[in-house]
Amino acid sequence: MKNAHDGDRPGLSRRSLLARTGAVAAALAAGPVLGARPAMAASWRVPGEDEAHRRTWMAWPSSTTIWGADLSKIQADIAKLAREVAAYEPVVMCADGSTAASRARAACGSTVTVTGSIPVSDCWMRDTGPLFRVDDAGGLDSFGLNFNAWGENATRFYGIPASAYDKDRVVAQRVASYSGVPFAKSSVVGEGGGVEYDGDGTLMATESCWVNSNRNPGKSRAQIEAELLSRFGASKMIWLPGVKGQDVTDGHIDGTARYIRPGVVMVQLAGAVRPDVWTANARAVRDVLVDATDARGRRLRVLTIEGPDTLPRIPSGRRAEFLSSYMNWTVTNGAIITTQFGDTAKDAAAKSAIAAAYGRPVVQLNLDGLYGNGGGGAHCVTMQEPGR
């Protein structure tokens, strides 16, 4: 997500450690819709990602305003990931018009469905797409989190015009319409990558990206929590420390801690390549979770893995800005798809630990373009639609 004029200068990736404003303070801590409805009835819930999917949604990046010379690298990784996901469940790739759709089809192949009827600005479907909910009677609906380009950080950090993300600001309701499900806007602003949910009543999120004036000015933590719990069909929020101002997301939780299933979470403790602020935050997240209970009163089982100690394919000057997170995996019906970084021992240990936790095969891909130039991963660019 770099400015077209940034080239390969370090510190300007999606999770860059340097804000252009210089205000780099670690803090542990709009289009038409189908009618905004009151918060959902108790029977509605967002299923856990480990539950069965109907399909996965993705978005094809085609903006040189956003990506500049890095666009081809990002497209190659998006296509590689889409083909892999499609081996386990259907994939719908949204593309910005017929020309972009044609290029996406050529890159992704026949196993991926590409539509040019849902315009997109960029590839971050986890943050821009709808959250799908199910009810006890087999119904399906959805809601959006009012994506505003990560609190307009894309403009403040990288100088990308706010208008470059106009299509992504309304993509959630367009995806919902394509799926034929009702859609409503939440009363808070945020991104899907900023909240983890177990499908059984418990959420976890970082304060750094939700209780933040760039997204929810004037709203208290209690107000934000109440809206998220209501929309997700949950009854308990676990607030976690975060890191504000050092990456464009303000510290999304999905790079550090993830639900495996209800009652079980995994945390990645930073490897040697991660700067100290992220190492400290990962430990703080783990410390909160080991003492936490969920909505059912269960003490959480906290699994840990370690990040890579080396990034042999990445130039030394860019390693600190690289998103070296195994945690940013995407869950499919048949496998967990994550990344490998070239640290043979750590890659193997992470693969083994994730496979044991889920009881599913784990596929590791080289997605250096996406994780390095983009600063996001497999989870960031996918959104699951649950089966009914």
- In which order are the strands placed within the sheet that holds 330-331? 330-331, 336-339, 362-365
Cα dist from 42 to 75, 227, 353, whole Å: 40, 13, 35
- Residue 149, φ and ψ in degrees, nearest 5: 60, 50
Comparing CA positions, the residue from 107, 109, 145 lying closest to residue 124 is 145
Rg of the chain, C-alpha, whole Å: 19
Half-sphere exposure in the Cβ direction for 140 (13 Å, CA):
16
Which of 94, 123, 209, 380 is labelled catalytic? 380
Q: How far apart are CA 323 and CA 12, in angstroms?
A: 12
> Is residue 126 helix, strand or coil?
helix
> Is residue 180 helix, strand or coil?
coil
94 classed as catalytic: no
Q: Which tokens in the block code for residue 313? A: 């394919």
Q: How far apart are CA 151 and CA 352, in angstroms?
A: 36
Q: Which tokens in the block code for residue 303? A: 């699994």
Q: How far apart are CA 107 and CA 249, in angstroms?
A: 28
Pairing of strands 53-59, 91-94: parallel
Cβ-defined contacts of 218-227 (< 8 Å, 24+): 219/188, 223/188, 224/188, 227/39, 227/186, 227/187, 227/188
Q: Which tokens in the block code for residue 334? A: 């048949």
- Residue 191, φ and ψ in degrees, nearest 5: -140, 150
Residues 6+ apart with CB under 8 A from 115: 92, 93, 94, 95, 101, 178
Catalytic residue IDs: 380
